[in-house]
Structure 1
Amino acid sequence: MSRRKKHHEAHHEEHMDESWLIPYADILTLLLALFIVLFATAQVDQKKFDQMAYAFNTAFSGSPSIFDNNQAITPELNSAIPNQQAAEGTMGQEQLQETVQLSELKKQIDHYIQENKLTGDLNTTLTEDGLMIRIKDSALFTSGHADLRPESLRVGEEIAKVLVPLTQKIVISGHTDSIPINTSEFPSNWELSSKRAINFMKFILSSEKSLQPERFSAIGYGQYRPLEANDTIDGRAKNRRVEVLIMRNFRK
C-alpha cells in the first residue's frame, strides 16, 4: 500500500514538472514574432540606398565607389541624405544668385542700347543657357566682309567692359543668311561666319587685357541656325548676326 502511494506521488510530480512546456512554447512564439518584426523593419529601403550611394559617389568622384563591396550599411550613411539635400540647396542658391547677376547685366546693356539708340542693331535675351547678346551684322561689318567697321569698335569695347568682372565662359558665334557666297576669301558662308566670330572675339580680348582668353571660344554656324525664315528681306537681315553668349556656370 505504501509503495503504491509513493509510486502514485512520483508519477504525479513527474506530470507536474512538464507543465512548464506551455509557457515556454508561448515565449518561443513571442520571440519568433519579435524577430520577424525586427527583420522586417531592418530591410533597407532601396530608393534611400540609391540616394545615399549617389551622394557618396558624387562626394568622392574619381575614387572607387565605397559600395563596390558588400559591406554592411552603418548608421553613419544616413548623413548622406541631409548632406545631399544641403548640396542641392546650395546649388539652388548659386543658380538664383547667377540669374540675378545676369539679369542686372542685361539691364545694364539694355540701358546702353537705349541711350545710344541701338535698338535696331542690338538686343539681349536671358535664356536657360545664359545671357545672349545679339548684334546685327551691319552694325559690325560691311556686306560680304569680316573686317570690323571703324564705327563698330565702340560696341565691341562696351561689351568687353561688361565682361571683365564675370567668371562665366563666353561663346561668340557668327551667322549668315542662306544666300550663298563664293569669293577667294570666303568660299562659303561657313568661312564668312567663322571669320566674323573670330575677328569680333579677338577685338574684345584686345580691348580689355584683363580678360582671360581661355574663357572664350568662337564658332561659325553659317546659315544653319536661322532666327527666321530666309524667304524675306527682313528675315534674312535678322539671320545675319553675331551672338555673344555668356554661359551660366550653374544650370539645372
Structure 2
Amino acid sequence: MYRRKIYDDDDESHDRWLISYADFITLLFAFFVVMYATSTINLNKYQTLSNSVVTAFQGKPGQTPSLDTENPSSLQNQSAIKKPLPLSYLYQEKKQRDLEKMRAIGQQLANVLSMWIEQKAITVQQGEFGVDIAIQNKLLFKSDQSTLSDEGPYVIKLISEVLKNEYRTLQVEGHIDRHAFADDPNPEAKRWEITATQAARVAGILGSRGVINKRLSAIGLADTKPASSSENDLAQTVNNRLIIRVLTAESNAQQAANNTNTTQLEILPKAVERVEADEAATKAPVSEAPAIMSTNP
C-alpha cells in the first residue's frame, strides 16, 4: 500500500516572505522615483505622465485639461520649472523682520523718552545699523562735561529698562563740539579724554541696570563726527551729544565675525648684523676701533 510521505515542518521555507517584501520594496522605489520626477513640474511631462497613468488604469486616455497653445504666455510657461526660493529672498525676509523688530524697539523708546523728545533734548532715529538714541550732554552731564547731572541717571535707567531684555549689542558713542575746551593747553587731547569718559560712564550705568556687559561697548570720538558744521550756539549744543546705538542682528553678526575670525601676525624686529670692519680697523687697537652696525633692509 502506498503511503504518503510525511514531510517535516522544518522542510518548509521560512524565507518565502522575502519575495513579497522584495516586490513591495520595488513598488515603493518606483513610487519615490515618480514623486522625485514630479517634484519639479514641467507641464509637458506632467501631461504625458497623467495620460499614461489614466490609460494604464482605465484603458483609455482621460479628459485632462489642455494647454492653451494660442496664448504666448502659456507657451512660454510650458517649459518653465518651479524653482525654490533663492537664498537672497530668504535673507531679505529675515532682514525685513529684524527691521520691524527694531522699529518696535525704537517706538517703545520714543514713548518712554517722550518728555525729553518734546524738549528737543533727545532724538530717537532708526538707521541702517540700528536705532540711535542721541542725548544732549547738558541733559546727562554738568557743565564740567564729566560729572553726571541730577537727571542723567534717571534717563539712563529708563533706557536700560527697555533694552535689558533685548539680546542686542549696545554701542555708546561720546561726541563733542570742536570749540569745547578751547582754553585748555591741549584741547584735542581733552576732547578725546572727555568723550571716552562719558561713553564709558554711561555704558557702566547700563551694565549695572541689567544690560549684559558683553553686549556693551564704549568709544569716545571727540569732534570727529559733528552733527552740524555751523558755528552758532545751537550747532555746538547739537554736537555735544552722546549716542546709544542699538545694533541690528546683521550688525551684531558682522561684529561677532570681525571679533572671532581675525587673524593676527606677529611682527618681529629686523635682525641686526655686525658688519666686519675693514683691514685697517681690525689692525687698530680695540679701544680705537668703533663698532659699525647696519640694519638689513
Bin for the TM-score computed over the shorter chain: 0.5 to 0.7
Q: Which gives a bigger RCO, structure 1 or 2 (Cα 8 Å, sep 6+)?
A: 1
| Alignment length (residue pairs) | 168
Q: Measure the CA separation in 2 of the matches of 1:131 and 1:117.
A: 15
1:167 maps to 167
Q: Which residue does the alignment assign to 2:197? A: 195
The equivalent residue for 1:65 is none
More helix by share: 1
**Quick one: which amino acid aligns to residue 170 of structure 1?**
L
1:135 corresponds in structure 2 to 135
Amino acid of the structure 2 residue aligned with 1:229: S
> What is the rounded CA distance, in whole Å, between the counterparts of 2:202 and 2:132 in structure 1?
15
Counterpart residue type for residue 109 of structure 1: L
Ranges in structure 1 where 5+ consecutive residues have no aligned partner: 1-81
Aligned-residue RMSD, C-alpha: 2.5
Distance 2:117 2:200 in 1: 26
2:149 matched to which residue of 1?
A: 149
Distance 1:163 1:221 in 2: 23
TM-score by length of 2: 0.52
2:34 counterpart residue number: none
The answer for the alignment partner of 1:35 in structure 2 is: none
Q: Among the aligned pairs, what percent are the same residue?
A: 17
- State the one-letter code of the partner of 1:93: E
**Mapped partners of 2:166, 2:246: distance in 1:** 9
Describe the shift of the 1:116–1:136 C-alpha distance in structure 2 as closer, same or farther (beyond 3 A): closer
Q: Which moved more, 1:112-121 or 1:221-230?
A: 112-121
Task: Write the letter of the residue equivalent to 2:152.
Answer: S
> Which residue does the alignment assign to 1:239?
239
- Cα distance in 1 for residues equivalent to 2:206 and 2:147: 14
Cα distance in 2 for residues equivalent to 1:183 and 1:203: 31
Report the secondary structure of 2:177's partner residue: coil
Deviation readout 1:204-240 (Å, 9 max, x if unpaired): 11112xx221111100010110000141100000000
Task: Out of 105-114 and 132-141, give the one that drifted further.
Answer: 105-114
Change in 2 beyond 3 A, CA 1:183/1:244: farther
> 1:174, 1:219 within 8 Å by CA — same for their partners in 2?
yes
Shift of 1:158: 0.8
